[in-house]
Amino acid sequence: WSSDVCSSDLDSMAQVNKETTIGELLMTSGDKIEDVARALMEIGMHCIGCPSSQGESIEEAAMVHGIDADLLTEKLNAILNA
């Protein structure tokens, strides 16, 4: 296991956390944006395009919608790294 392999593996994996804003999430989703948007809409986050939601963190959005932020973050990371 060389450090080069570890670094390149980590660099290629997209990661979000609870502090990531909805705007950052959508801007960095790349070709996964439709999957990410669909996942958010399926759990009731229908306002992902609203200007005010863009500055909200994943944790804040989850709280407003009564969703566990850790589970949501895991789901989003699974989608981004699929």
Whether the predicted model's global pTM rises above the 0.85 cut:
no
pLDDT at 16: 94
Rounded to an integer, the average pLDDT of 21-26 is 93
Measured in whole angstroms, the distance separating CA 11 from the mean position of its chain's CA atoms is 16
pLDDT at 47: 80
Residue in this structure with the two tokens 């990371």, named with its chain if needed: 77
Rounded to an integer, the average pLDDT of 45-49 is 82
How far is the C-alpha of 45 from the C-alpha of 72, rounded, in Å? 12
Top mean pLDDT of 1-5, 45-49, 73-77 is at 73-77
Cβ neighbors of 26 (< 8 A, separation 6 or more) are 33, 36, 37, 48, 54
- Between the two ends of the chain, the Cα-to-Cα distance in Å is 23
Rounded to an integer, the average pLDDT of 27-56 is 89
